[in-house]
Structure 1
Amino acid sequence: MAENEQHSDSKPKDDTSPIPVNHVYVVPRKEIAMVPDMGKWKRSQAYADYMGFIVTLNEAVKGKKLTCEYKVSETIEKLLVLLGTMDRWIDETPPEEQPSRFGNKAFRTWYAKLDQEAEVLIAAVIPQQQGAAAPEIAVYLKEAVGNPTRIDYGTGHEAAFAIFLCCLCKIGALNGDDQLAIIFKVFDRYLEVMRKLQKTYRMEPAGSQGVWGLDDFQFLPFIWGSSQLIDHPTMEPRHFVDEKVVNENHQDYMFLECIKFINQMKTGPFAEHSNQLWNISAVPTWSKVNQGLIRMYKAECLEKFPVIQHFKFGSLLSIQPV
């Protein structure tokens, strides 16, 4: 499933700083302007690093509950403070009265605050000697919350947050001991903040395929969440369409948290509003679900020009060929 990606150097590691102190950081920019440029992306160091990061974390959370014991480092705590600040700004920026139901303009006010403060927020998270990395990494944090012009959010924005975390691993702010906390603490908190943004400002799904897409907004929590459920003694994929099972177990499993959010936001038969997920519930094992979702993520997100044209490449996420 990810044969050539396992060796990527972007995995959370134990060495203190994989990047030399004199490393030259650059502000990331777009490199994929036309459909033929997609070949550059598929051959790039960025693609290998990104998929390596996704697959490494997928392996780390296998069979583990959100509520299990794991190490929480100082950097993880600082990231939670950062996300808490973003959450507080939502409370301080209520939706505006406007005629259109979707895409509340107050999101732009909220976003302007993040745009202004992102580098300061990141400087508070990363080691002082890596301070020069803040402008480069800040770009991914700003890309991770949705688009202020269209007031939409989708899997490309979600990927930017994973890239943001991957960059923190590359500069040594996060390491191998942080793998579980990266998903169970930081990414899970990020999802909470994104759901609050989506609900508060009625954000449009970016590039949504409607009922033919996996979900309106997210993809990665379904991958990592299905890995958590591999070899579960009683819960099979067919059980996640049962609301009772979801309500009783969502605190332990990211996949079920996602289903709970869908059940809150959508009405009508599950098979109609979430057809792809309904089909997945017929897959016999979580292991097969997990492998299928990784393949689907590559095909539906990472190989789609409308998603990748917005990606930005710098010194940490490099467009250079592997």
Structure 2
Amino acid sequence: MNNKQVYDVTDPSVHALRTSAFMQNGPVKQVRGLEDLDRWVRSQAYYDTIAYISNTSMAIQGRRLTRDFPISEQMRKLCQIFDGLEHLLVEHSPKSEDFDASISISQIKSRAYRVWMRHMFQHVFFKLDEAIKAKCKHVNELGQYLRRSFGNATSLDFGPGNELMFLFFLSGLFRSEILLAKDTVAAALMLFGRYIHLVRRLVTTYALPIAKNPRCFIDDYYVLPYLWGAAQLSSEESFSPIQCEQPKIIENYRQDYMMMELIEHLQKTRGGQLSHVAFQLWCILSIPSWSQVYRGLERNYISHVLSSFETVENAIFCELMSFEALISPNPLARAYLNPYYNTYQENKEPTNQIENQAIDLKSISPVSLYLSMEPDIFLGYQNAKKHYNKKSSDSLENRLCMVRQVVDENDASSALFFAGQKNIQNESVNSSPNDHP
């Protein structure tokens, strides 16, 4: 401690105050009324969520579930969390001896669901701590996102708000560099697939209703699988959207594509043609190409689901997924899918400023990396500056093409919470030029 130079923290900077708040409070709810929606759509978490969805959509186009894609050891460890959750589901499913004439079946299932939720809370934190780096300080935050991904133990339902929490979990894994760029495809097609499979079992086992959202355009428990399902198909275009209800097409491709598996599941569980059991989805699938289907689903998801109060009223925010507003927000990230993407890759001739950079989806994280706030800045140590001044690997060169927007290197969004970095340097005591990188 003696070799550390310190600041005068009698008048702490805004950065020290924010660090202190995160250390004391942890993840908290922020959207408490309709007036908070404006803050939500201007927040870092909102922009990061859309960037993650869009960049993952580009990475998985043309990738089939049955074909090889990179699966890291870290990804396998995260998937093992769901092995335990599946086991808990079997262990705490309502059994025949539980049924009593004095208690309704719905009450028995509700009671069993609450028991499963209690065990899940413990399991998630224990297994997550085992799965990720032991020294990772974001275990609690990530665990809080994950535990809210499996429904609501109070209202006993499941909806897009729970799916959003799992999105926060996935984005947080990449922002904290627990998962790397090479894990992008596996996170969507493997880890997210395990999540959807478990959600279906939960819904069936405990008869959970859909958390009604009047703005949601798809009458289902989740929305994102449809979006990523369309992204998968946008590259090869093996069949048109209007053909996807044909029995032969479903049989041939249900194991390859997320969308086909979704349609088969809807038809089996609801017992009818798509036009009868999911009319709005059937209307969207009348669009000629999969890239156009994706664009329609994306527009509806952002406007009607992600920006809805019912979706975010129970959402929590912390460091990795921050509710802090972007000082100079850039345009929202959008996925550009085939045939545009293929044409660009073949020609290699940029048509505008955004396309002046080459793009390699395998080496770029699907969401911006988080520059962690270490406790040193709260305690007032000057050495902490060097950590924040370093340039994020999510640099201007990488971001230009990935998110299709011009990013200024001096913009606050590229160095979260540190727009006033110079103020910290000016407040230092007895510092020399050599103290600053």
Quick check: TM above 0.5? yes
Equivalent residue of 1:241, what SS?
A: coil
CA contact (8 A) 1:228 1:253 kept: yes
The answer for the alignment partner of 2:122 in structure 1 is 116
Structural mapping, 1:42-53, within 5 Å: 42-53=41-52
The answer for the alignment partner of 1:162 in structure 2 is 167
The answer for the alignment partner of 2:178 in structure 1 is 173
- The alignment's C-alpha RMSD in Å is 2.0
Moved more, 233-242 or 310-319: 233-242
The answer for the alignment partner of 1:28 in structure 2 is 27
The number of residues matched between the two structures is: 299
How far off is 1:28 after superposition? 0.9
The answer for the alignment partner of 2:66 in structure 1 is 67
Counterpart of 1:240 (choices 244, 247, 255) is 244
Residue by residue over 1:118-156, the C-alpha shift from the partner in whole angstroms, topping out at 9 and shown as x without a partner, is 2212111211221x2111111111110001122211111
The answer for the alignment partner of 1:153 in structure 2 is 158
The answer for the alignment partner of 1:183 in structure 2 is 188
Q: Which amino acid aligns with 2:195?
A: Y
CA contact (8 A) 1:146 1:157 kept: yes
Structural mapping, 1:219-238, within 5 Å: 219-238=223-242
The answer for the alignment partner of 1:19 in structure 2 is none
Hey, what's the Cα distance between the residues in 1 that align with 2:174 and 2:146?
A: 14
Counterpart of 1:252 (choices 245, 253, 256) is 256
Moved more, 295-304 or 268-277: 268-277
The answer for the alignment partner of 1:195 in structure 2 is 200
Counterpart of 2:285 (choices 276, 281, 298) is 281
Hey, what's the Cα distance between the residues in 1 that align with 2:272 and 2:261?
A: 19
CA contact (8 A) 1:90 1:110 kept: yes
CA contact (8 A) 2:156 2:209 kept: yes
Equivalent residue of 2:138, what SS?
A: helix
The answer for the alignment partner of 1:6 in structure 2 is none
CA contact (8 A) 2:22 2:318 kept: no
Moved more, 240-249 or 218-227: 240-249
CA contact (8 A) 1:251 1:257 kept: yes
Hey, what's the Cα distance between the residues in 1 that align with 2:213 and 2:36?
A: 23
The answer for the alignment partner of 1:55 in structure 2 is 54
Unaligned runs of 5+ in 1: 1-21
| Residues 101 and 238 (structure 1), Cα distance of their counterparts in 2 relative to 1, 3 Å cut | farther
Task: State the identity as a percent.
Answer: 29
CA contact (8 A) 1:126 1:168 kept: no
The answer for the alignment partner of 1:311 in structure 2 is 315
Hey, what's the Cα distance between the residues in 1 that align with 2:166 and 2:251?
A: 27
CA contact (8 A) 2:151 2:157 kept: yes
How far off is 1:24 after superposition? 5.9
Structure 2 residue 105 is matched with structure 1 residue 106: no
Q: Which amino acid aligns with 1:117?
A: H
Structural mapping, 1:194-213, within 5 Å: 194-208=199-213, 213=217
Counterpart of 2:133 (choices 122, 127, 132) is 127
Hey, what's the Cα distance between the residues in 2 that align with 1:144 and 1:184?
A: 17
Q: TM-score, normalising length from structure 2?
A: 0.65
How far off is 1:209 after superposition? 5.1
Q: Which amino acid aligns with 1:318?
A: S
Unaligned runs of 5+ in 2: 1-19, 327-437
How far off is 1:46 after superposition? 0.7
Q: Which amino acid aligns with 1:282?
A: S
Equivalent residue of 1:234, what SS?
A: coil
**Bigger radius of gyration:** 2
Residue by residue over 1:239-259, the C-alpha shift from the partner in whole angstroms, topping out at 9 and shown as x without a partner, is 122233223211100111111
Q: Which amino acid aligns with 2:204?
A: K
Equivalent residue of 2:320, what SS?
A: coil
How far off is 1:272 after superposition? 2.1
Structural mapping, 1:68-83, within 5 Å: 68-83=67-82
Q: Which amino acid aligns with 1:194?
A: V
| Residues 185 and 268 (structure 1), Cα distance of their counterparts in 2 relative to 1, 3 Å cut | closer
CA contact (8 A) 1:35 1:305 kept: yes
Runs of 4+ in 1 over 6 A off after TM superposition: none
How far off is 1:82 after superposition? 0.3
The answer for the alignment partner of 2:37 in structure 1 is 38
CA contact (8 A) 1:167 1:317 kept: yes
